């Protein structure tokens, strides 16, 4: 019997997944969590074989950070991401955090069940197109931005000026300009609009 912990901030999704997983004899859901923090606590207490985790979990830590924390537990459960988001940065981030696989929510229920079985057995679970993108991304890694640089990018995408960003982040305009210079260099762009475009295309924001 493979035990499973469900992590999704939507109760109706957790209910549907529980029905699918518990329908057979080989898998059993032993717990549910709505947040990453709750998932980490429950996983430490329940010790599931597999954690089926969404990528976006509302407030609190996201699925990637949750995955990293879960994989640091002893014993560490396998983590299978099940989400609607498939941007390269998110897929790569999850795999780099230790996820055993990455599935999209529009797959057939049988694929999810088989994915859980394979993750529990130590296999990597990726759709063929995602596997190709992961391999490509590992060969040509995405630029590494700091959390503050990503925060600045998000404000840029909302149309904020340097002064508004400085006021919001409680820093000087000079500091914002310094962050922008680093962002432009890392993304190999020469304008705010190009920085936003590249960041959105690669899933950085």
Q: Which two tokens stand for residue 79?
A: 């983590």
Which position has the token pair 């059993």? 28
Domain residue extents for the chain: 2-135, 147-201
On the question of pLDDT at 138 being above 60, the answer is no
Closest to 102 in 3D by CA, of 53, 36, 49: 53
Asked whether 51 and 7 are in contact (CB, 8 A), the reply is: yes
Q: Which two tokens stand for residue 17?
A: 């997944």
What does pTM read for this prediction?
Answer: 0.68
Say which CATH class 147-201 falls into: mainly alpha
Number of H helices, E strands in the chain: 10, 6
Q: Are 2-135 and 147-201 in the same CATH fold?
A: no
The predicted-structure confidence for 47-101, as pLDDT tens digits, reads as follows: 999 999 999 898 789 999 999 999 999 999 999 999 988 777 778 788 888 999 9
- Among the four given CATH numbers 3.40.190.10, 3.40.47.10, 3.40.50.2300, 3.40.50.300, the one describing domain 2-135: 3.40.50.2300
């Amino acid at each position: 019997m493979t035990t499973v912990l469900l992590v999704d901030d939507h109760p109706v999704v957790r209910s549907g997944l529980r029905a699918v997983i518990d329908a057979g004899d080989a898998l059993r859901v032993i717990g549910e969590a709505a947040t990453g923090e709750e998932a980490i606590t429950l996983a430490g207490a329940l010790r599931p074989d597999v954690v089926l985790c969404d990528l976006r979990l509302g407030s609190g830590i996201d699925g990637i950070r949750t995955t990293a924390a879960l994989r640091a537990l002893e014993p560490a459960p396998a983590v299978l991401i099940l989400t609607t988001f498939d941007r390269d940065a998110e897929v790569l981030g999850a795999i780099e955090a230790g996820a055993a696989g990455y599935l999209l929510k529009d797959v057939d229920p049988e694929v999810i069940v088989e994915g859980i079985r394979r993750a529990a057995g130590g296999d990597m679970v990726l759709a063929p197109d995602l596997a190709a993108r992961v391999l490509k991304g590992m060969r040509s890694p995405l630029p590494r931005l700091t959390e503050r640089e990503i925060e600045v990018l998000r404000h840029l995408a909302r149309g904020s000026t340097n002064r508004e960003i400085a006021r919001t982040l409680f820093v000087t305009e000079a500091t914002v300009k310094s962050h922008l210079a680093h962002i432009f260099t890392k993304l190999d762009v020469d304008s705010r609009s190009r920085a936003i475009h590249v960041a959105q295309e690669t899933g950085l924001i």
